[in-house]
Structure 1
């Protein structure tokens, strides 16, 4: 086994341990000691891979969601990307709620903002390119913040109240907004 494979296995084991701990206690109460004991590794190994438990959490979310979504062609495959994210949020609502309860809405959004905004920026940039529209950096930043806030709020509502969300309807609404409002806004800048 290569060093890279071994490192990935260790990181994944830590992610699994973190998820399991979050089934039983708030995120803010989970310690590195618990995780390393569960994985049968030493503290040095944990710190070799992650700066702290937030680094582990961020890596886990990036690997399980953001890196996967970035592989989709978001203008062509946005339905698949959307369904992947919605399914992930629904299936993992227990640990997302645990994080939310421990750090709060603003901190969770701040924590994930760079990943969300990167994905939204790519969608906006791809649409602008396809529509042959040039937008100012200031307006692009505004649109990125606007749509990122909307997506983040929608996903938080989904994992907080999965029983109240009709995923098919949510997708239909998302499609209407994405396919109609964003191109219209961009074309208004011509």
Structure 2
């Protein structure tokens, strides 16, 4: 592990510990550096602000999953991701309760790319133009992100395997909802 990664891990662990003491929006860079024993200059050498630290934590926890996710294993990778989130439950619940838009933006970008690929793949007859592909990918991505954010906000009480199974059922039926539905369009 590089010195930079070690420093980033120290800062991230300090932030996670501080979340037991106060809400994310009340935590300052000074709080993080005091807790870590590092100075503010070190923090700013690695991160622009605490939101960049949050993004680094998200990437550290989830980036390998998103880079390994395909149309064929997305449900397995989603379940793996939900388990990682649940393993870091306190951190994710605190951060999402304070500012869910930041997590949603991060997660939405990953999910939308997959939905675009999926819709293009199932639209074998080229029924959809790019505007409709983007519309439906946005719709389904917002739905999936909303489910995950609700799960986090509500304390991750529901079993992550059940959530994954229900989302897989919905996604497996996109062809019926979107492609077949548009063949009978009246707009």
TM range (shorter): 0.7 to 0.9
Tell me by how many angstroms 1:183 deviates: 6.5
TM-score (norm 1): 0.80
Q: 1:62 aligned to 51, 54, 59, which one?
A: 59
Tell me by how many angstroms 1:68 deviates: 2.2
TM-score (norm 2): 0.82
Q: Which runs of 5+ in 2 are unaligned?
A: none
Q: 1:43 aligned to 37, 40, 44, which one?
A: 40
Q: What CA distance in whole angstroms lies between the structure 2 residues aligned with 1:48 and 1:136? A: 45
Tell me by how many angstroms 1:113 deviates: 3.9
Q: Is 1:7 matched up with 2:4?
A: yes
Matching of residues 120-135 of structure 1 within 5 Å? 120-131=111-122, 132=124, 134=126, 135=128
Matching of residues 159-174 of structure 1 within 5 Å? 159-162=152-155, 164-174=157-167
Is the contact between residue 90 and residue 158 of structure 1 (CA under 8 Å) also seen in structure 2? no
Q: Which runs of 5+ in 1 are unaligned?
A: none
Change in CA separation of 1:187 and 1:74 when aligned onto 2, cut-off 3 Å: farther
More moved, 7-16 vs 144-153: 144-153
Is the contact between residue 71 and residue 118 of structure 2 (CA under 8 Å) also seen in structure 1? yes
User: RMSD of the alignment, in Å?
Assistant: 2.4
Tell me by how many angstroms 1:129 deviates: 4.4
